[in-house]
């Protein structure tokens, strides 16, 4: 017994008290283990929470995209390079002259090639001229020789041939015409070759598009070289070709 009159608890009472305490603590452990955890929200709710604050950003981003998509269009319009006119589409002298000065005149190898072509052309023209001149002299010589032969035959009492002579004016003109036809064919061949080369060099009026050229008009009907449909007649195109050749000859003269 204790000194203050209280009975000391026996061992059985102590064990019973401990057992009661143990039984009270065990139900609390599962409660601690089964403490409510944050439950995952449905995907729709999670998405709504994510999307709601991002709507403003999405709208701002869409506006930026719209501005960016419009930007290049305006800048492309301002910074677009000037249109380059195709030489085969030029049917006016002023436009053709500008084209030649911007392209052909700036390339030495083209200038040298055109210079060589002009030289060959002059050589052929000189040969044709000298050939025609020699043929005329030959015809005159044959005619004079025929007359001398007839005079000699008359002097000696010989018989003069009555067969048709090839020295009659008609025969001489026919022979000269045949020569001219040969020269004309050679000239046309040379012109075609030169036109092909000049078209390859980008010289206007050579290789003009066929849908821009119309048949030549009569002189009484000819007015401006270009009508309302934007076409040019063949006669005017030939004039422009000759004018361009004369310009190139001056440009390439040494």
Single pTM value for the model = 0.54
Q: Cβ contacts of residue 117 below 8 Å, gap of 6+? A: 194, 197
How do beta strands 213-214 and 232-233 pair?
parallel
CA-based nearest residue to 101, from 115, 89, 87, 83: 87
Sorting pLDDT into bands at 50, 70 and 90, what band is 75? very low
CB atoms within 10 A of CB 141: 11
pLDDT in tens, 142-158: 877 777 766 666 666 66
Q: Do 237 and 91 meet the contact criterion of CB atoms below 8 Å apart?
A: yes
CA-based nearest residue to 202, from 87, 84, 102: 87
Q: Per-domain residue ranges for the chain?
A: 87-208
Question: Phi, psi at residue 239, to the nearest 5°?
Answer: -60, -40
Helix axes 169-200, 108-155, angle to 10 degrees: 170
Predicted local distance difference test score (pLDDT) of residue 120: 94
pLDDT in tens, 194-212: 999 999 999 999 988 888 8
In this predicted structure, the answer to whether residue 229 has a pLDDT above a threshold of 70 is: no
Q: Cβ contacts of residue 41 below 8 Å, gap of 6+? A: 49
């Amino acid at each position: 017994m204790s000194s203050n009159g209280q009975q000391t608890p026996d061992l059985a009472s102590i064990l019973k008290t401990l057992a009661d305490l143990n039984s009270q603590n065990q139900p609390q452990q599962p409660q601690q283990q089964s403490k409510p955890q944050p439950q995952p929200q449905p995907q729709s709710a999670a998405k709504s929470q994510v999307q709601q604050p991002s709507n403003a950003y999405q709208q701002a981003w869409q506006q930026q995209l719209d501005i960016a998509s419009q930007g290049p269009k305006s800048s492309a319009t301002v910074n677009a390079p000037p249109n380059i006119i195709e030489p085969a589409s030029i049917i006016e002298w002023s436009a053709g002259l500008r084209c030649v000065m911007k392209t052909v005149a700036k390339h030495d190898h083209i200038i040298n090639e055109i210079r060589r072509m002009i030289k060959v052309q002059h050589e052929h023209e000189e040969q044709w001229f000298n050939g025609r001149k020699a043929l005329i002299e030959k015809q005159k010589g044959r005619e004079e020789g025929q007359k001398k032969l007839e005079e000699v035959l008359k002097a000696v009492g010989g018989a003069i041939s009555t067969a048709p002579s090839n020295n009659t004016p008609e025969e001489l003109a026919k022979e000269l015409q045949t020569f001219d036809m040969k020269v004309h064919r050679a000239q046309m061949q040379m012109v075609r070759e030169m036109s092909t080369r000049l078209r390859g060099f980008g010289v206007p009026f050579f290789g003009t598009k066929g849908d821009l050229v119309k048949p030549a008009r009569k002189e009484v009907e000819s007015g401006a070289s270009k009508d309302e449909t934007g076409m040019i007649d063949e006669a005017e195109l030939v004039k422009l070709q000759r004018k361009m050749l004369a310009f190139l000859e001056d440009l390439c003269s040494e």
